[in-house]
Amino acid sequence: MFSYDYSFDSIDADSPTFSSQEKIFKNLGSDVLKAAFYGYNACVFAYGQTGSGKSYTMMGNKVDKGLIPRICEELFLEISSRSDSMSFQMEVSYLEIYNERVQDLLRKKLPCSEGGVLKVREHPTDGPYVENLSKHVVLSQSNVESLITLGNATRTIASTSMNDFSSRSHTIFTIIFTQGWFDGELPHERHSKIQLVDLAGSERADGTQAMGTRLKESANINKSLVTLSSVISALGKFSLINKLASSRAG
């Protein structure tokens, strides 16, 4: 048995049940914005088979923007309405995981042998992070869109038998959002992190007719997706155990 909060029909734009990018943002992205302003971290990721529209949903195009640019745009709009009483700062980073290696999409791409691979570390308090990943302060939506354009131009994309513009890597676009204000004479800060993840699509070698480099990419894509599903499953079991323990204690 599976249940879903939403089911979107985005096949026929003339259909009365058609779900536009704007509707998807209102149903999913608006909750991310609320979480950020309350100081909570938030994560949205697109998962599914290759060619199913994950990158389009997350990024869209210049005419029909996806979740990532819409969330940034609404953040700036909300900031402009609150800036009289508070100060705000936004930083963004953009990375890809290609063949199990982490690379910064907002820096000149270096070969793996020349330091192009970043290390994943774990901070005792803040948790996992990517060492030496660049962070860029953004002051406007145009700043964000310039960085998105730069990162997307660097991302690894290739043609397969199932998708002419297949993403060959997983990407994580991160927004670090800081709010500052004074309570009397005491300064306060609230930090939140929004991580927007566009996963590469799961693939079957016979469907994509992948060979050579494409086959190696597919194997690594599927490997990491299986690992992700194991993590989600473990977190789900952990959450269920905690709920059962709480109900028994009560």
Which residues are known catalytic residues?
A: 51, 53-56, 198, 201
DSSP-derived letter for residue 207 is H
Give the pairing type, strands 166-167 and 120-123.
unpaired
Give the separation between CA 97 and CA 34, rounded to whole angstroms: 28
Angle at 93 between CA 62 and CA 53, to 5 degrees: 40
Judged by DSSP in three states, 186 sits in strand
Q: Per-residue confidence of the chain (250 residues) as pLDDT tens digits? A: 778 888 888 888 899 999 999 999 999 999 999 999 999 999 998 988 877 888 889 999 888 999 999 999 999 999 988 877 789 999 999 999 988 889 999 987 665 555 578 999 999 988 889 999 999 999 999 999 999 999 988 887 655 545 555 677 899 999 999 999 888 889 999 999 999 999 987 766 555 555 667 677 778 888 888 888 898 888 888 776 666 666 665 5
How is the chain split into domains, by residue range? 21-249
Q: What is the architecture, at CATH level 2, of domain 21-249?
A: 3-Layer(aba) Sandwich (3.40)
Predicted TM-score (pTM) of this structure: 0.84
